[in-house]
């Protein structure tokens, strides 16, 4: 389903047909994920399976991605692996959401219209850390081979010599 992930789908019809959809979405095209990316790369892959559960349209979502974030300790890019699964009830309004079983997540989709991109984006946002940091055992601040060398500037390096000079 190339680029079909951004098209609104009728969750009710898909649930009646027990439809499975495989997706591959560039992370840079997800509007709430793109600003968080350290690098303009990465793809979210997975499957959404529509079915009925207690009369509701339910989506079984499985998503995997390698998200490039900026470590907030060393300010260098790092990779955050995401492998998420969720069961999501698609309802039309807030009143219907109150009756959803607690083991299901809920998405309010007026008219039953939902996009695969919205479901995937929400799951990725839930899986990302509030503060991105390199994991314990990784060298925070260690320069990788694909990063350019940075010149360290020392603006006060010559200050001591200037202070020793007399008038």
Tens digits of per-residue pLDDT, 71-100? 998 999 999 999 999 999 999 888 888 888
Q: Are 50 and 19 in contact (CB under 8 A)?
A: yes
Measured CA to CA, the distance from residue 88 to residue 68 in angstroms comes to 26
Residue 109 to residue 127: CA distance in whole angstroms: 22
Distance of alpha carbon 119 from alpha carbon 27, whole angstroms: 13
d(CA 15, CA 153): 60
* pLDDT tens-place string over residues 93-121: 888 888 888 899 999 998 889 999 999 99
Whether 2 shows a pLDDT value over 70: the answer reads: no
The pLDDT tens digits of the residues spanning 10-59 come to 999 999 999 999 999 999 999 999 999 999 899 999 999 999 998 899 99
Predicted TM-score of the model (pTM): 0.77
Burial of 120 (0-12, 13-18, 19+ CB in 10 A): buried
**Residue 52 φ then ψ, to 5°:** -105, 140
Confidence of residue 151 (pLDDT cuts 50, 70, 90): low
> Which among 64, 63, 61 is positioned nearest to 48, based on CA atoms?
61
Q: Where are the domains of the chain?
A: 4-143
């Amino acid at each position: 389903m190339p680029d079909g992930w951004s098209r609104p789908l009728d969750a009710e019809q898909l649930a009646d047909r027990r439809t499975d959809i495989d997706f591959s979405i560039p992370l840079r095209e997800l509007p709430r994920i793109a600003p968080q990316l350290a690098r303009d790369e990465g793809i979210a892959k997975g499957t959404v399976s529509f079915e009925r559960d207690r009369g509701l349209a339910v989506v079984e979502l499985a998503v995997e991605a390698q998200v490039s974030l900026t470590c907030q300790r060393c300010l260098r890019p790092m990779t955050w692996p995401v492998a998420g699964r969720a069961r999501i009830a698609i309802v039309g309004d807030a009143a219907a959401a109150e009756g959803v079983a607690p083991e299901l997540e809920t998405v309010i989709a007026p008219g039953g219209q939902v996009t695969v991109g919205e479901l995937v984006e929400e799951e990725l946002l839930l899986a990302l850390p509030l503060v991105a940091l390199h994991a314990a055992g990784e060298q925070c601040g260690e320069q990788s081979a694909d990063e350019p060398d940075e010149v360290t500037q020392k603006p006060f390096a010559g200050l001591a010599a200037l202070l020793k000079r007399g008038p």
